[in-house]
Amino acid sequence: MTDATEAHQTGPLTGLRIVEFGHFIAAPFATRVLGDLGAEIIKIEPPSGDPVRSWGEQLDGKSLWWSSHARNKKSVCLNLKDPAAREIALGLVAKCDAVIENFRPGQMEKFGLGPDDLASVKPGCILVRISGFGQTGPRAMEPSFGMIGEALGGIRHLTGHPPDVSDLPPVRTGVSLGDTVAGLYGAIGLLAALHEQKGLTLPQDTPVRIVDVALTESVLSLLEGVLPEYGALGKIRRPEGARLPAAAPSSAYACADGSFILIGANSDPLFAQLMRVMARDALIDDPRFIDNPSRVANIDAIDDEISSWTKSREPEALLAELQAAGIPSSKIYTAADIVADPQYQARGAVQAVRDPVLGQDILQPAPVPRFHGENPEGIAWPGPAIGEHTEPVLKGLLNLSDEDYRHLKDSGTIGSA
């Protein structure tokens, strides 16, 4: 593993430079995606560092998640409460193509880094703003996290079992879905704005191009037919547990050892094939199961049939039989299953990245998407130490002298590892 100041990032976004004023998850996830594709990411961190540095499992007091969360980024430590840091930040913006931030609306303006300030050094600068509720509306200034976006975006209502099955509260997905989806939309919006500007010569008075991403709206966009069904029929979709409410059979079924496998046989040919595997050919032409609407209407009956079959069988033999018949099916993977899976291994979907901060190789998911015909490294370096790249970035991009650098460091305006 080479040092970040020497490593060469490759990919289709090579040459694109982005400044990230982000913390926690949404904006940093957007820049991780862009960095994976070759963009140069300059992450501005306070002296205390991004709070995610202390999240999750630790190794010698250092976050394992950080290694992946902040990979391919250059950490520049600035105390934005210091007016001198503002000038440095604006100098970096002037050398970059876009800015991504996810503070509460108004915070960038308090730092002196609002849209007008950015436009003064970079006319037409693209500014991606990710927040809980967006930059406008009566709730714009309210604090929010990903879980609030998931609640107000409607997806938490759908996670869990139907009320007649369990009275436990709706569950989270196990990861910060609202934040990561908003981060993806931030990355997409940035690329769309860049495409819009492609080939244009922007006048000096061009205002900042703002890309406004709300956590709530990002989650809302995932809800498939929920809004059309409510608007046309007044129907409020309810949580369905492991089932797919619009197609059957598609659920998790218990095996003899108590584990679960997923079976998706919701097309007519797949349903017929599943019934043959189960030696229940007579059910293929049963009026209750003759087509998908009929199977959905009789979902309890068909799931009872499948469950009776799966509960008598061990999962390995069951999966082998289903997969031989071409029926989509799977065990529910843990991290150990993912690492051991031959398909993931064949595609290099899990990569071991040497992390000098942690002193060992750290497993990370490979960049997505991949581009056939190319083999970019993707993960050039893992998450850096706080301010690891302050000196090379400021001296390289802003031509800061050794004397000026020492003065700013001694005054607490900047920090370095």
Instruction: For residue 170, give both structure tokens.
Output: 């709706």
Local structure of 57: helix, strand or coil: coil
State the catalytic residues: 179
Distance, in Å, from the CA atom of 154 to the CA atom of 216, rounded to the nearest integer, reads 8
Instruction: For residue 79, give both structure tokens.
Output: 């105390």
Sheet strands side by side (includes 260-264): 250-254, 260-264, 329-331
Place of tokens 């927040």: 131
Cis peptide before 369 (omega within 30 of 0): yes
Other beta carbons within 10 angstroms of residue 57's beta carbon come to: 7
Would the CA dihedral through 391, 376, 100, 117 be positive or negative?
Answer: positive
In eight-state DSSP terms, residue 176 is -
H or E element, residue 392: helix 390-397
Distance, in Å, from the CA atom of 242 to the CA atom of 360, rounded to the nearest integer, reads 38
- The single-letter code of the amino acid at 164 is D
Cα Rg for the chain, rounded, in angstroms? 25
Sort 29 into a burial class: Cβ within 10 Å, 0-12 / 13-18 / 19+: buried
Buried b vs exposed e over 187-198: b needs ≥16 C-beta within 10 Å? Answer: bebbbebeeeee
Distance, in Å, from the CA atom of 31 to the CA atom of 22, rounded to the nearest integer, reads 9
Distance, in Å, from the CA atom of 417 to the CA atom of 49, rounded to the nearest integer, reads 11
Distance, in Å, from the CA atom of 215 to the CA atom of 210, rounded to the nearest integer, reads 16
